[in-house]
Amino acid sequence: MKIKCVPLGAGQDVGKSCVIVTLGGKMIMFDCGMHMGYQDDRRYPDFYRISKIGDFTQAIDCIVVTHFHLDHVGALPYFTEVCGYEGPIYMTYPTKALAPLMLEDYRKVTVERKGEQEQFSALQIQQCMKKVTAVDLRQTVTVDNDLQLRAYYAGHVLGAAMFYVKAGDSTIVYTGDYNMTPDRHLGAAQIDRLRPDLLITESTYATTVRDSKCAREREFLKSVHKCIDDGGKILIPVFALGRAQELCILLDDYWERMNIKAPIYFSAGLTMQANVYYKLLISWTNQKVKDTYVTRNTFDFKHVSPFDRSEMDAPGPCVLFATPGMLSGGLSLEVFKHWAPSERNMIILPGYCIAGTVGHKLMSGKPTRIELDKRTQIDVRCQIHHLSFSAHTDAKGIMDLVRHVDPRHVILVHGEKPKMATLKNRIMTELKIPCFYPANHELVEVPSHCIFKVDLSNRFVMHHLIDDVNDSQNSQNLSAPMDDMLETADGSSSIRNASSYSLPPTQVRTHVEGIAVNENSLRIKILHPIEAQACLADMKHDVSFSCFQTIFVEANGHGRLVDIGEKTILHSLYLELVKWVGNAVSREEDCIIGGSFCMRLCKGSVTQNGSEGQSESEFNHGIKDRDIGDSISCNPSSSRQKIEVECNWCYEDNSLANRVMGILRTLNLKLQQCLITGSSQCKESTNYHRY
């Protein structure tokens, strides 16, 4: 079985994440993102590589979206509403709630942009989101009988998840973006040691190792405070969700502590609305935020108010969070035009800026003049601050995750090619795991690990794992003398105990034995040996036994046994055995049987036996030169006499036979009055004795 993986986006690149994976006969699309750096066809993944005729619903079994960032969900409405994909789509509750906000925000920005035609309408976003199935963390979702998936907490942004997918016997983990360290409002990524065939991980910071976040936060707050004290205005271009909330928590808290009066603004409407969602979804944040929801919801910011355009040129210091991030247009760019020329003001760029955006230009060097388009140029005199805390994990985090998940293969996506190469080498050398970082549209095939599935028969399972009822019934006769004891004594194996095997709750390893049967190279089936008898009939080897046993009989005051009669003796023997083995034996006309076990009195041992003295030679007709005389000491003066029985049985009934033989050997049969006078009266007199 092979797992095939083709990145349609985010292969040796950041932007438009979209990875197609075929495993276990299923095709899954992980993320359906757009590229913010392009305005042409290149902004979307090339979906027609999946199906030339465009029958995506048929081709793809499901789409999994990891989080609400546009480079992961941006192309989804286009794919469902324009390309016509109608199959299942999965994302977490927060992603389903928040992705439409991001999409709507983006749509507005593009519409506002000159000459730009919208890719999808507001209605199409809504219709698209209706098709989404929301999932909870760690919930095992069954897509169909052979396809299951499960979300794990990924940090990064609210609702971000890694997805584990199992199709047939093949398994894969796709991380999306994740953060291995908690931040102001989110926890760190959490996943089990899943040992999948393939791990596809992001590698944004493939070579970066970051220092403590606290120091960077302090530095950020210090520069903000200084700027405010100097009467400057601070612009923080952000996307509506994610970084905006994290920085807001940070500033709101700082404002409270330092008693700062300068207003913090959120660009009105959308970003304020986003906080409402965050309040509802507080159970997806970190423990610290969750713990305080009763007294005050962390996203009820005290110092934050909505921004009015008229305040753009109002005097006095302020902080403004404005969308979109990267200064790619909209309000943030408009405000930038107003505020950039003043040295007192400050632009804070949090996080990554894609090439082609104003944000990217600001980050690369310190420009003094920026050309927005042919007619507009802006003098940039304000301070520019780049905030390097990112919601992505660093190289150490990636290595930790790979080590923890312990996959058989790794594929790197969502990163920059040279850095990915470095990380790939680290994974191959340090972790000894094969690693790949395909470019877009480049196919990687990895084998899914070879597993043999076998069926265990009912009986096999019962025998090894369930306390067998019959066995436990048998074991109630433990006090009976048994030849079985010898078996355990000689140390060959504890046979009896093994047959009543019961799995202790904590035991995770049980020794089992059985017969593996394979018919016409279909699946292997493991049978209990007894079940295997049918197909192994011609292999069977019958083992049978025969044996003689001397029994002492006391018939007090009733003379010779010959007078008593074989049947009476047999019956009293039977009654004696029943005491020990219950209904495992039954009585026939002239023998006692139990399965293949059969016991009868030796011919002549009663009728011709006058006294002990004579009996010796009569008994020895079975096997020549038997030497039993020495072991028997008899007292001629007592009424104790000997009889001999012959037993035959097959291997199957060995344990019953051994038990019976043990009983007989130590038996001192006392014939009762009633038995001697006649077996027909036996019942009555037994009853009499009871009264």
Partner 1 sequence: MRLTCLGERNGVVEAGEPACHLLEICDTRLLLECPLDLSALSYFLPTLLKRPEMVLSSNTKATGYDLKHGDAKTSSIPSRNYEPEHAYEHGSSSHIKRQKLLSHSDADGVASHLLCGLMRDWNAVNGSSPYKELDGQILIEAEPWYKTADLGLVDIPLLDAVIISNPIGMLGLPFLTRHPEFSAKIFATDATTKCGQLLIEELLSSHNEYVQLYGRSSIGKAPPWLELKHIAKLPSNIKDALYGVNGSTRANWHPIYSVADVRECIAKISRLHYGEEASVDGILVLKPSSSGFGIGASNWAMTVPWSRLTYIATSMRKSGSAMGLNLSALKGNQILLLSDLQASKMSNANPLATFQKTIGGDVDDPRASKKGSLRIRAQRFWPRRSAIGSTSQPSGDIISKQIQPCTVSPLISAEPLQATAMGSTEGTPQLQSVTSGRFLDVKWSETDIKESISTLAKEVKSAVSAGGCVLIPISPSGLIFELIEEIALELRSATVGHIPMFYVSSAAEELLAYSNIIPEWLGPSRQEKLYAGEALFGIAGLLKEKDLIPLHSLQTPEFLKLWQEPCVVFAAHWGLRMGPAVHLLHRWGKNMDNMLVLLEPSLDIQLALSPFQPLAIQVLRLAVISGLRPKEVPWVIEKLQPMFTLVPEFLQQSLSLNTEVRNPTSMHFYSSRQSVFLQDFPEEMQVEMSPELAANLKPKQLKTGKLTVAQLTADLCTKDGHWSLQMPKSSKNSLGSSQKYGCCWGVVNVLALVTALKDCGLSDLSVTKIDNDQSINLGNSPLEEVLNFDKVFIEIYSPSPASLAITSKATHISSDDPALRHLVTDAVSRSLERF
Half-sphere exposure of 179 (CA within 13 A, CB side): 23
What distances in angstroms separate CA 220 from CA 185, 241, 267, one per listed residue? 17, 20, 21
C-beta of 261 vs 626, nearer to partner 1: 626
φ, ψ of residue 56 in degrees (nearest 5): -70, -35
Min separation Cβ 148 and partner 1, Å: 10
Q: Which of 112, 466, 588, 684 binds partner 1 (CB under 8 A)?
A: 466
| 491: contact with partner 1 by CB under 8 A | no
* Count of residues that interact with partner 1, criterion CB under 8 A: 103
Residue pair 206/415 in contact (Cβ under 8 Å)? The answer is yes
Please state whether the peptide bond connecting residue 324 to the residue before it is cis, i.e. omega within 30 degrees of 0: yes
| 539: contact with partner 1 by CB under 8 A | yes
Min separation Cβ 14 and Zn ion, Å: 9
**Binder of residue 177, out of partner 1, Zn ion, none (CB less than 5 to 8 A by kind):** Zn ion
| 686: contact with partner 1 by CB under 8 A | no
Q: Which of 229, 445, 513, 590 binds partner 1 (CB under 8 A)?
A: 513
**Binder of residue 201, out of partner 1, Zn ion, none (CB less than 5 to 8 A by kind):** none
Q: Which of these ranges, 78-86, 256-264, 308-316, 494-502, lies near partner 1 under the rule CB under 8 A?
A: 494-502
Of residues 83 through 122, those in contact with partner 1 by CB under 8 A are 93, 96-97, 100
Q: Which of 167, 307, 654, 669 binds partner 1 (CB under 8 A)?
A: 654
Contacts of the segment 304-310: beta carbons below 8 A, 24+ positions apart: 304/248, 304/252, 304/264, 304/265, 304/266, 305/263, 305/264, 305/265, 305/266, 306/265, 306/266, 306/267, 306/268, 306/269, 306/272, 307/265, 307/266, 307/267, 307/268, 308/268
C-beta of 59 vs 141, nearer to partner 1: 141
Name the DSSP class of 684: H
Min separation Cβ 47 and Zn ion, Å: 21
**Binder of residue 69, out of Zn ion, partner 1, none (CB less than 5 to 8 A by kind):** Zn ion
| 504: contact with partner 1 by CB under 8 A | yes
**Binder of residue 535, out of partner 1, Zn ion, none (CB less than 5 to 8 A by kind):** partner 1
Residue pair 205/392 in contact (Cβ under 8 Å)? The answer is yes
Active site residue 202: yes
Q: Which of 123, 258, 355, 516 binds partner 1 (CB under 8 A)?
A: 516
173 vs 197: CA distance, rounded Å: 8
One character per residue 442-461, x = contact with partner 1 (rule: CB under 8 A): --------xxxxxxxxx--x
Tokens standing for residue 284: 């997806």
264 vs 65: CA distance, rounded Å: 33
C-beta of 126 vs 305, nearer to partner 1: 126
| 515: contact with partner 1 by CB under 8 A | yes
**Binder of residue 443, out of partner 1, Zn ion, none (CB less than 5 to 8 A by kind):** none
Give me the catalytic one of 81, 104, 202, 334: 202
C-beta of 414 vs 528, nearer to Zn ion: 414
Min separation Cβ 654 and partner 1, Å: 7
Which value, to the nearest 10 degrees, does the dihedral of the CA atoms of residues 679, 683, 688, 691 take? 150
122 vs 118: CA distance, rounded Å: 10
13 vs 18: CA distance, rounded Å: 11
Of residues 610 through 649, those in contact with partner 1 by CB under 8 A are 622-628
Residue pair 653/595 in contact (Cβ under 8 Å)? The answer is yes
**Binder of residue 328, out of partner 1, Zn ion, none (CB less than 5 to 8 A by kind):** none
| 653: contact with partner 1 by CB under 8 A | yes
C-beta of 56 vs 552, nearer to partner 1: 552
Element (H, E) at 95: helix 93-112
Length of the chain: 691
- Which amino acid, 57? T
| 38: contact with partner 1 by CB under 8 A | no
Half-sphere exposure of 585 (CA within 13 A, CB side): 27
Tokens standing for residue 666: 């130590």
**Binder of residue 293, out of partner 1, Zn ion, none (CB less than 5 to 8 A by kind):** partner 1
Of residues 665 through 684, those in contact with partner 1 by CB under 8 A are 665
Q: Which of these ranges, 33-41, 402-410, 546-554, 668-676, lies near partner 1 under the rule CB under 8 A?
A: 546-554
Catalytic residues: 202
